[in-house]
Structure 1
Amino acid sequence: MKQVAQNYKSGELVVLDAPAPACRPGGVLVRSLFSLISTGTELMKVSEARLSLVGKARARPDQVKKLLDAVAQQGPLAAYQKAMSKLDSYTPLGYSLCGVVVEVGEGVDQLSVGDVVAAAGNEFALHAELNWVPVNLCARVPDGVLPEHAAFATVGAIAMQGVRRAEPQLGEVACVIGLGLVGQLVVRLLVAAGVKVVGLDGVEARCRLAEKAGALACASPTPEGVSLVETVALDASEGLGCDHVLLAAGGPSNQPVEVAARLARDRGRVVDIGKTRLDLPWNAYYEKELDVRFSRSYGPGRYDDRYELEGVDYPAGYVRWTERRNLSSFLDLVAGGQLDVATLVSSVHPIDEAADVYARLREGTLEGIGHLLHYPGSELAAVQAARPGSTSRVPRAAYTAGARIGTGGKVGVGLIGAGSYATSMLLPHLAAHDVVDLVSVATTRSLSAVNAQRKFGFQRASTHADDVLSDPAVHAVFVVTRHRSHADWVCRALEAGKAVFVEKPLALDEAQVQQVLDTVVRTGNDRLLVGFNRRFAPMVDELAAHLRRLRGPLAVRYLVNAGRLDATSWYLDSAEGSRFVGEGGHFIDTVSALVGSDPVDLHAAVHGEDVSALLAYPDGSTGSITYVTTGSARFPKEVLDVSGAGANARLDNFRRLSVWGRGRVTTKRAMSADKGQRRQVAAFVEAVAQGREMPISLDSLVATTRATLAIGHGACEQEPVSR
């Protein structure tokens, strides 16, 4: 399918041939008819991508802070390589479209194949021929509404939420500062609500367009223009001033917020809808006791994964207007004739011309505010049937020799999932290995598959994981998806006769552990490795070599300064297991590797996300793991201390190893924190190619997983754990 994308590093904007997305539970597959180009948000993103690295850093100081934290933890080289890899990727554009439902996912009963819908979301309603959209980000288009007008619904919902935040009443006066696409829609909504409207914008054509839509007067934000608008507002309000000032402008100027204070009446409301600079002039806002409010995108539900991704709606008795209800309300106003959208359509272009359209918008040679992309061949008559192609599960197959090549030949590798970790920590090592043949990659998002194929040379890219499992050229499958799906994909890959490398954790509960073990017994395929990479780290390997010369039990102390997660991290989703379940296996496996056996007993205490665990081993060795989330981001993330048989050792964040022996101290340093991914990938690939045993035994993988679950589930339940 065709999709518009931009490379954030080079600024290149292209129309790609990308794999069509799969239809997943909780949403629908939509074939686009029209998608709307946002001349504000999208052009800002397009322009930002064309900046130098210094310019990008100035535009995104939040990302610079993350980079500095990464340098402190990983070293400058590793942090730089990861940042450049992320920059040199295609990212999608678009967030507002109208299309036809061609496939309905499991659990969706509100929509049917053939429904015309408006769709929203900068991760879902993209400039692409096909999009998977969660059900709460779709609204059925009423009869009589043209699809090119319905494509405005997302931007209409943004404007509507801004108006709702202002809480206007009949007869009041409002000023809209910024008369771009959102501002024009705000004007129309306010007029429809019986509000007297004035406006400010530096483009005369936009001022005249707003006046045609019902605004009393609009002018340029020059001293003369502001005085004109102020006079009209005072006349319309009997000398009071504007009850509401809605900021729909963007850019670095602080003028909009300063003008707002001048125009607003005493105790008026100022609502920020756009990305406006807000250096509030204290005296002006204090003296009038102005109420400053923010409007968050399309409405309640935005940025809430439970609402947007899981389809959990808010009861209308508590939240009357959600994202989806705002979309529907906007479409109803268009259908009833209360809202004119036709005058906002400036041009329509086929998707093939998208790169040229963006270039002309950036250069200023394409005027207007409402520009649409059209998708030829997507007319209603052509899309009543579901998308062709099988999405069925790969049939179960007996274990075959495919998982154990044993000839020393090339190992065909397939990936299920190619997110940030896979592309920065696994794929570079796979691509560099001389016996690896990168055959197939499957991701839920089309551009993720395209990026992986472009960067690493996969022969095939898909959005269907079954394409990887059924490919006879694939001998080994890497599962790098979210935690809840690991056990299922492991079982399906083992059933398909593949060797399997799965990122931690192997399972989220005992039932999933047993599912994996039952699959191994049933198929005879035990070619499995979990991504416990730290035991393969060069510094850990050298520490283990020192310890092998000692006799007697060891005391291993592992401090993990995990840090706080971003509020949007999917690690916080309880369906993915506790945070320790997701990460703890790394640390237990490392201690077990140093001791040389698996734990036979454990005790743990938890407080919030912080965990203190004590592991006991058959030879009397102990391992204590302290996992904390409240430390400094600049302190080393992992510090490992070992004592025993008259010796001590300390490993700081995989970058410095110190060993205190009899009479001397030896220290070794590294430029970057090598946590063992390269060595683990090589060990797995060579085991598959040569038919050797897996680098970590299945018994040890299961023992580590069960110990992690025992501790992690206690972290979920907020109570001590023992076994």
Structure 2
Amino acid sequence: MKQIAQNYKSGELTVLDVPAPVCRPGGVLVRSLYSLISTGTEMMKVTEASMSMVGMARARPDQVKKVIDQVQQQGLVTTYKKVMNKLDSYTPLGYSLCGVVTEVGKGAEEFKVGQLVACAGNDQALHAEYNWVPVNLCAKVPDGVAPEHAAFATVAAISMHGVRRAEVQLGETAAVIGLGLIGQLVIRLLVAAGVQAIGIDPVPDRCRLAEKAGAVAAGAPDDLDTVLAELAKITSGRGADHVFLSAGGNSNGPVEAAVKLARDRARIVDIGKMKLDLPWNAYYEKELDVRFSRSYGPGRYDTRYELEGIDYPAGYVRWTEKRNLESFLDLVARNELDVATLIDGVFPFDEAAKVYGDLKDGTLKAIGVLLEYPVPAEDAPPPATKTVLPGAKTPYVRTNEKGRQRIAVGFVGAGSYASSMLLPHLAKLPAADLAHVATTKSLSAVNAQKKFGFSTASTDADSVFEDESLDAIFIVTRHATHAKLVCRALATGKAVFVEKPLALTREEADQIAEAIATTGNDRLMVGFNRRFAPLLGSMRKGFGAAAATASTRYLVNAGPLAKDSWYLNEEAEGSRFTGEGGHFIDTLSWWADSPVEEVYAVRGPEKGDVQATFLFANGASGTIAYLTGGNARFPKETMDATGGGRSARLDNFRSASVWSGRGKSATKARGGQDKGQRSEMEAFVEAVRTGGPMPISADSLLATTRATIAVGESLLSGRPERV
């Protein structure tokens, strides 16, 4: 299928051939009829992508701060590679469309094949021929509503939520500053609610359009006195009960105008994205109530609502984002809201790149722009969920011979970690053929294919497991999926690499052990990369045999999680330590050359903090302090070892020192921080190619996994737990 995408580094905007998404549980597969270009939000993103690196930094100071913190923790080289990897990727555009349901996933039976639906979401309702949309971001279109009008539903929901945030009442008066698409819809919603509205915008045509939609008056900001005079007539001099800020840009003019328009104790609602430097005295004197309106409504940015389909009870949250979509469609169906006059152009989907270019350079001056998608013939095959790279070599049929020159590799998942820390190393190995990659998002698969040369890109994980040409399968997906996918991959007889954690529960660990025993396939590797780090290896060599009885301490300055991180969903994905702690336990176990026998853990002062003590089978001991409340620029990982008259310290994989007798040896990393991913990939590929032992035994992998799980058990029980 085709999809619009933009490279944020180069600014290139193009229509790509990508694999169509598969229909997953909890949602529906939708064939697009019309999608709406947001001339505000989307064009801002398109404009940012054409800026220089300095311009991008100025536009996103929040991201610059994150990068600076990463440089302090991870070093300049590592941070640069991660940032460039993220920038030099195709990103999707679009978030509002109307289409036809072509397939219904389990749990989405409220919809039917052939049904007309309006869809929302900047990861779901994209400018693409097909989209998978979860149930709470999808609304049935009532009979009589044209699909090109229903395509406005998401942007209308944004406007509607803004109006609801103001808590308007019948007979009140409101001013709308900024009469772009959002502002025009706000005017129409206010009029439908019985509120007298005036508008302000520097473009005369937009002012006249607002007046035709029912605004009492509309004028330019440089003629504010005229607008204020009209407002005084309809409010007996009181001023507006509500002022909506739906403009954009870096001017503080809208904020300053708002205080002049507002009555005493009025509500100011910010819907747009603009400079918001409030003149304190003016806002204080009128005791203005400033409110923000967050996107489509309650449910936005809540993964459980948007992706898992868990609705909020109407008795507690009357207007969710889905109910806002439905409310807009109902108003259009009852002819109480007109959007036809907002449509300035309908263009074929294939011309999308030109349309964006014309909007950007001002050739096309428009408020509402729709893209129309071709209707496939009745006998057309279903959309392909695989794409093959032009010129790709024909995959060979996998054999079990040892010592072959090259191996074929397949990936299930290719997110940020895989794309920045695994695939760049694999792509450079002469013995590895990157043959097949599957991700749930079409562009993620194509990004991996174009960057690293995968022959085949897919949105269906089944296609990787069924690919007979592969020698090894990498599983780099969310934590909750690992154990099930590992068991399935082992059953294929291929070598398996899975990122940590191997499992989230003892039951899952037992299932993997059973799969190994049943299939006879123990060709398993987990991404415990620290033991492969060159600095750590040289430090252990310098420490010598005393490591087997040493006492070790690992301090992890984990830091807080972003509010939208999927790690926060502990019910589904396990605790943060369960997901990451295996790295550090494996390192201590490797250092002591012994598995963990007993664990005792206590919580720290911050949520997510863990402090755990480990006793190893050979008598060695170690502690891990996994802390989330430290300074973002303090080194993330430090490790100390003591024993046999020797001491050693690893400082964030950037330097290592060993003290022995009266001497001290110190080593610094060359070329930036190296946590061992490159050496780990080399070791795994070589083991698969030659048929030699896996870099870490399956027994060790399972022992570390069970020790990680035992940490959580000890936190709950308050006592030591046997592994």
- TM-score of the superposition, structure 2-length normalised? 0.96
Matches within 5 A, 1:476-495: 476-495=472-491
Deviation (angstroms), 1:408: 2.7
Deviation (angstroms), 1:98: 0.2
* Structure-2 residue corresponding to 1:600: 597
1:469 aligns with 2:468: no
1:351 aligns with 2:342: no
* Structure-1 residue corresponding to 2:367: 369
Matches within 5 A, 1:408-447: 408-447=404-443
* Aligned residue-pair number: 708
Contact 1:547 1:594 in 2 (8 A): no
Amino acid corresponding to residue 556 of structure 1 in structure 2: T
Deviation (angstroms), 1:539: 0.9
CA distance in 2, matches of 1:403, 1:182: 59
Deviation (angstroms), 1:104: 1.1
Moved more, 141-150 or 464-473: 464-473
Deviation (angstroms), 1:721: 4.7
> Structure 1 stretches of 5 or more lacking a match?
391-400
Q: Kindly report the root-mean-square deviation, in angstroms, between the aligned alpha carbons of the 2 structures.
A: 1.6
Matches within 5 A, 1:396-415: 405-415=401-411
Moved more, 286-295 or 613-622: 613-622
* Structure-2 residue corresponding to 1:624: 623
* Structure-2 residue corresponding to 1:189: 189
Q: Secondary structure at the match of 1:268?
A: strand
Deviation (angstroms), 1:402: 5.2
CA distance in 2, matches of 1:3, 1:578: 36
CA distance in 1, matches of 2:18, 2:717: 45
Contact 2:20 2:383 in 1 (8 A): no
| Correspondent of 1:236 among 209, 229, 234 | 234
CA distance in 2, matches of 1:303, 1:474: 38
Matches within 5 A, 1:221-620: 221-222=221-222, 225-378=223-376, 405-550=401-546, 553-574=549-570, 575-607=572-604, 608-620=607-619
CA distance in 2, matches of 1:64, 1:523: 49
CA distance in 2, matches of 1:500, 1:547: 33
The alpha-carbon distance between structure 1 residues 320 and 602, as it changes in their structure 2 partners (threshold 3 A), is: same
The alpha-carbon distance between structure 1 residues 329 and 551, as it changes in their structure 2 partners (threshold 3 A), is: closer
1:659 aligns with 2:658: yes
The alpha-carbon distance between structure 1 residues 544 and 98, as it changes in their structure 2 partners (threshold 3 A), is: same
Contact 1:552 1:645 in 2 (8 A): no
Q: Secondary structure at the match of 1:614?
A: strand
Deviation (angstroms), 1:382: 7.7
CA distance in 1, matches of 2:714, 2:668: 37
CA distance in 2, matches of 1:558, 1:26: 41
Deviation (angstroms), 1:405: 4.4
Deviation (angstroms), 1:649: 0.4
Q: Secondary structure at the match of 1:550?
A: helix
Could you list the per-position Cα deviations for residues 339-363 of structure 1 after superposition, in whole angstroms to 9, with x for gaps in the alignment? 0011011101111100000000001
* Structure-2 residue corresponding to 1:44: 44
Contact 2:412 2:473 in 1 (8 A): yes
* Structure-2 residue corresponding to 1:396: none
The alpha-carbon distance between structure 1 residues 239 and 714, as it changes in their structure 2 partners (threshold 3 A), is: farther
Amino acid corresponding to residue 579 of structure 1 in structure 2: R
Contact 1:32 1:378 in 2 (8 A): no
Could you list the per-position Cα deviations for residues 530-589 of structure 1 after superposition, in whole angstroms to 9, with x for gaps in the alignment? 000000000111122123343861101111111111111111111100000000000000
Q: Secondary structure at the match of 1:331?
A: helix
CA distance in 2, matches of 1:615, 1:241: 69
Amino acid corresponding to residue 236 of structure 1 in structure 2: I
CA distance in 1, matches of 2:598, 2:289: 59
The alpha-carbon distance between structure 1 residues 721 and 296, as it changes in their structure 2 partners (threshold 3 A), is: farther
CA distance in 2, matches of 1:50, 1:376: 29
Moved more, 134-143 or 667-676: 667-676
Amino acid corresponding to residue 593 of structure 2 in structure 1: G
Matches within 5 A, 1:155-166: 155-166=155-166
Q: Secondary structure at the match of 2:273?
A: coil
CA distance in 1, matches of 2:713, 2:70: 29
Moved more, 422-431 or 98-107: 98-107
Contact 1:579 1:712 in 2 (8 A): no
Contact 2:359 2:366 in 1 (8 A): no
CA distance in 1, matches of 2:510, 2:721: 21
CA distance in 1, matches of 2:7, 2:695: 38
Amino acid corresponding to residue 473 of structure 2 in structure 1: V
CA distance in 2, matches of 1:721, 1:254: 60
CA distance in 2, matches of 1:557, 1:193: 64
Deviation (angstroms), 1:618: 2.5
* Structure-2 residue corresponding to 1:24: 24
Amino acid corresponding to residue 633 of structure 1 in structure 2: A
Q: Secondary structure at the match of 1:603?
A: strand
Contact 1:403 1:497 in 2 (8 A): no
CA distance in 1, matches of 2:365, 2:713: 58
Deviation (angstroms), 1:195: 0.8
CA distance in 2, matches of 1:326, 1:207: 26
The alpha-carbon distance between structure 1 residues 197 and 643, as it changes in their structure 2 partners (threshold 3 A), is: same
Q: Secondary structure at the match of 2:249?
A: coil
Q: Secondary structure at the match of 2:546?
A: coil
Could you list the per-position Cα deviations for residues 332-390 of structure 1 after superposition, in whole angstroms to 9, with x for gaps in the alignment? 000000000110111011111000000000011112210001111258x789x976779
CA distance in 2, matches of 1:74, 1:297: 34
Q: Secondary structure at the match of 2:168?
A: coil
Deviation (angstroms), 1:590: 0.2
- TM-score of the superposition, structure 1-length normalised? 0.96
The alpha-carbon distance between structure 1 residues 183 and 552, as it changes in their structure 2 partners (threshold 3 A), is: closer
Q: Secondary structure at the match of 2:103?
A: strand
Contact 1:494 1:525 in 2 (8 A): yes
Deviation (angstroms), 1:694: 0.5
Amino acid corresponding to residue 679 of structure 1 in structure 2: S
CA distance in 1, matches of 2:135, 2:323: 12
Matched-pair identity in % = 62
CA distance in 2, matches of 1:144, 1:721: 66
* Structure-2 residue corresponding to 1:698: 698
Q: Secondary structure at the match of 1:428?
A: helix
Contact 2:182 2:246 in 1 (8 A): yes
